[in-house]
Amino acid sequence: MTTLLYSHPIFLDHDTGFGHPECPERLRSIESELDAPEFKDLTRRQAPKGNIDQVLAVHSRELFDRIFRAIPRRGIGYIDGDTVVSKDSGEAALYAVGAVCDAVDRLMTGQADNAFCAVRPPGHHAETNRAMGFCLFNNVAIAANHARRWYGIGRVAIVDFDVHHGNGTQQIFYHEPAVLYASTHQMPLYPGTGRRSETGAGNIFNAPLQPGDGSLEFQKSMNEIIFPALHEFRPEIMLISAGFDAHRADPLASLNFTDNDYAWVTRKLLDIADQYCAGRIVSTLEGGYNLKALASSTKAHVSEMLCHKRTDNRSPNQ
């Protein structure tokens, strides 16, 4: 197995100001954990810069221009009360786009088996014409569109286990049956979307969890709702919005996941990817705001990707 790890120094230059939970220290904590000897076999890549065409395939030109107009020459500016930008934020967002698209390229051309993109700003709250929830561009949605546009992929699955519902990803693909979006998340919680009744074109599978839920409820939702949907859909590539803020130590929500839950769900998704899409998974960082829990959860997730042994070598069309 070849597992790619994407990063770039500019992700640390996305300055969100004192006390903001989506801070550069998040990536430093991850990088410190993944520098351990057990991760020596990771193939580390510096993210290339994405381009405006990749962004505009998903977002409006109005949003793109609005974000870059909001970029200050010094200090910080605000897209909304939660979503902060500084002088390097626009560039960081483009490099995040470049990371996920390059990962798709390398998996689709057989240069790697899976990839984890340690990027910021995150993306799954960004809608077609709206940046919100710490997110500027929707990285995972852009990756999905890139796979469809350049490789003729007919079935893309996106699995989101962030504690917050990925309203942006759902909105972008709500009427697109070629893209499956499946999410576990706490409800009620920001942004207020993600009810079971939100099904799109039959391609949206929401499994909301209640405050206080933990491993048992998470596994039940995955086993009864999300995994069966993936088996029926038979994806040709799988993307993961990897948020680690459902961890019991996270300060922004009230679920009780552990590192073992992230290892478990990663193993299960890798096995499903083996069956239908030659193991191809691109995972991209979303939330996770307790630095210690974020680092250990990411370690569990990436370790499974790195050490996974393929269980089925069937081609995506079998």
Q: Is residue 276's pLDDT more than 80?
A: yes
pLDDT digits (tens, 9 = 90+) for 80-93: 999 999 999 999 99
Burial of 239 (0-12, 13-18, 19+ CB in 10 A): buried
Q: Are 170 and 183 contacting, i.e. CB atoms less than 8 angstroms apart?
A: yes
Domains assigned to the chain: 3-307 (3.40.800.20)
What are all long-range contacts of 103-109, with beta carbons under 8 Å and residues at least 24 apart?
A: 103/4, 103/6, 103/143, 103/282, 104/143, 104/146, 104/147, 104/150, 104/151, 104/237, 104/282, 105/146, 105/150, 106/4, 107/237, 107/280, 107/281, 107/282, 108/147, 108/150, 108/151, 108/153, 108/237, 108/280
Average pLDDT, the chain: 96
Q: Is residue 14's pLDDT more than 50?
A: yes
pLDDT digits (tens, 9 = 90+) for 48-107: 999 999 999 999 999 999 999 999 999 999 999 999 999 999 999 999 999 999 999 999
- Tracing tokens 């909105």 back to the chain, one arrives at 171
pLDDT at 316: 39
pLDDT at 313: 47
**Other residues' Cβ atoms within 10 Å of the Cβ of residue 61:** 11
pLDDT at 314: 46
pLDDT at 312: 52
**Per the residue annotation, which of 8, 124, 125, 185 is the catalytic one?**
125
Which tokens hold the place of 177?
Answer: 């049956």
Tell me the average pLDDT across 270-284: 98
pLDDT digits (tens, 9 = 90+) for 291-300: 999 999 999 9
pLDDT digits (tens, 9 = 90+) for 159-194: 999 999 999 999 999 999 999 999 999 999 999 999
pLDDT at 1: 73
pLDDT digits (tens, 9 = 90+) for 128-155: 999 999 999 999 999 999 999 999 999 9
Percent of the chain with pLDDT over 90: 97
Instruction: Decide if 125 is catalytic.
Output: yes
